[in-house]
Amino acid sequence: MRSSFTIKPLVTAIAAFSVASVAQAAGLDRSGQDTTAFFQDGTYAEAVYTYIDADVTGRDAAGNKVKDIAEDYDFFRYGVKTDIDNKFSIGVLYDEPWGAAADYHGNNDFVGSPSRVADSLISSRLGNGAPEADNIGVNNVEQFKNFVNATPDRLAAGQQQLATLQGFEQQLDAAIASGAPIAAIDQQVAQTAAQLGRPDIDSFAAFQQLVTESEQALAEGQANYQRLRGLEGVLDTALANTEATEVEVRSESLTGLLGMKFGQNNNYQIYGGPVAQRLKAKVKLRGNAYETATGYDLNVNPDIDYGWIAGLQYSKPEIALKASLTYRSEIDHEVTASEYLPLAALRGVPPNQANKMEITTPESVNFDFQTGINPTTLATAKVRWVPWGDFKITPPLYNAASQFDYGPKGLNLVDYDDDQWVVELGLAKRLQPNLAISGTIGWDSGSGDPTTSLGPIEGYYSVGAGAKYNLDENWAISAGGKYLWFGDAKGQIPNGNIVSDFKDNDGFILGVKLSYQDK
């Protein structure tokens, strides 16, 4: 009975299952960093294409509808391995582990000219309740522009009044030089000052002080006018930007593996190797939702850095049992971040900068398990953990500008509250010698709610199905799909303000795989 329960008919089933087990939702997780290709027998190679289509809609804080922000997303995964002998195996895996693609559009707080942000800035700096030195009684952009446009006329009137005062002062200087009595000079000053509406000026000394104060007031008014023109220019730049919020993150990973089997029947295998990872990103924050960060651009130039992978596998071929535990390290990227934050100029911070920045992609742990139930049926389980609670992106300019309002630590552009857990269970069944089908159910915990407005999803539940057809003894093609019910999530900006609410969203994943195996 035991001898008929071999792995050969089950290989077909497990390969069909694996093609549907792709793509995660928490944080920036995408590929799930699958390593099962390395555990296939003999020489094995696969190429997998995955397409993700999600429908993520909601409303902004003002109640405006936010149309689907999730861009269609696709990526490839490749794997090849071979056994050197009955002890050692080598392999190379390629995948695209981290990514994001979101694009806001429509009539909502994430798109268009940030008029409310500009009005709020004017009101807090110059309006009623603003610091006394700046309280000029304007509370929105329209009032501000009217005030600025009228300022040259006010300055001209002040200049004319100052010229009158200076001319009278020269007359008094000439009278004093000719020997006129000071009492007569003071009387003349009092009469003239009264005509000017300044009855408090009753002496030549007081009049000289008035001239000095008028000169200072005019100089301050001219300087303030230039400051207001600068503020107007910054606001005009921000208001002219009518684009939409966008985010795109792409990564590529190349993993080299060396495995060594040991134990009485080579049931155990340890494996590990280096990992090279390439990362790039682009972010645009637009509209009223992002407050003083509106108009922000971040471009992260492609960077390659390195980490490592290690794991332990146990197998029992007579019952098709395989279990593996795989750890992947963090990878530290020191990237060049090009940033533009127009409203930073109001704080005296250069709005256009290029700085070095560190982005650390997270470590992860994958547990993969399978066991035969009967000669044609296989049960499978996958568990994945990623500590997104430790992840953050802190661009230097963005952080420096935020310190004025939020203290010396400033704000991160992206961070998460919780770690991610993924659990997926499945069954695979061989229907014919060359045909197998599979089904899965899954759960992803997400990485916290509220979460970043750039990816407002709180995990998912999923069901999936797949099929594999053997073209001949070595070649096979597989196809699979997964339907996902996304968890409701509130989107927040880095200062903690809730700016959106996303509910009742879903998506699907399609995958196709071409594989070759020679035992």
pLDDT one-digit tens code per residue, 44-79:
999 999 998 999 999 999 999 999 998 888 888 999
User: Residue 89, exposed/middle/buried by CB under 10 A (0-12, 13-18, 19+)?
Assistant: buried
Report the pLDDT value the prediction gives residue 7, as an integer from 0 to 100: 46
Mean pLDDT, the chain, as a whole number?
Answer: 90
Domain with CATH 2.40.160.60 in the chain: 2-64+78-114+241-518
- pLDDT digit string, tens, across residues 20-48: 444 556 778 888 899 999 999 999 999 99
CATH architecture for the domain at 2-64+78-114+241-518: Beta Barrel (2.40)
- Residue 258 tokens read as 């060396």
Q: What do you get for the CA distance between the two ends of the chain, in Å?
A: 24
- pLDDT digit string, tens, across residues 107-158: 999 999 999 999 999 998 888 877 777 788 889 999 999 999 999 999 999 8
- pLDDT digit string, tens, across residues 369-397: 999 999 899 999 999 999 999 999 999 99
- pLDDT digit string, tens, across residues 424-458: 999 999 999 899 999 999 999 988 889 888 888 88
Report the pLDDT value the prediction gives residue 128, as an integer from 0 to 100: 81
- pLDDT digit string, tens, across residues 457-481: 888 999 999 999 999 999 999 999 9
Decide which of 421 and 185 is more confident: 421
Global pTM reads 0.87
C-alpha distances in angstroms, 344 versus 201, 336, 397, 403? 45, 20, 8, 11
> Which residue is associated with the tokens 């991160």?
412
Cβ proximity of 438 and 382 under 8 Å: no
Mapped onto helix, strand or coil, the DSSP state of residue 345 is helix
Check residue 244 and report its DSSP letter. B
Cβ proximity of 511 and 479 under 8 Å: yes
* Stretch (H or E) spanning 499: strand 498-502
- Residue 419 tokens read as 């770690």
- Residue 380 tokens read as 């499978």
Report the pLDDT value the prediction gives residue 25, as an integer from 0 to 100: 61
C-alpha distances in angstroms, 163 versus 166, 204, 518? 5, 17, 99
- Residue 318 tokens read as 């007579």
Whether 184 has a pLDDT exceeding 80, the answer reads: yes
The per-residue DSSP string of 112-181 comes to S--HHHHHHHHHHHHSTTS-TTT--S--SHHHHHHHHHHHHHHHHHHHHHHHHHHHHHHHHHHHHHTT--
Residue 385's nearest CA partner among 427, 422, 432, 346 is 422
Whether 5 has a pLDDT exceeding 50, the answer reads: no
Q: How far is CA 317 from the centre of its chain?
A: 45
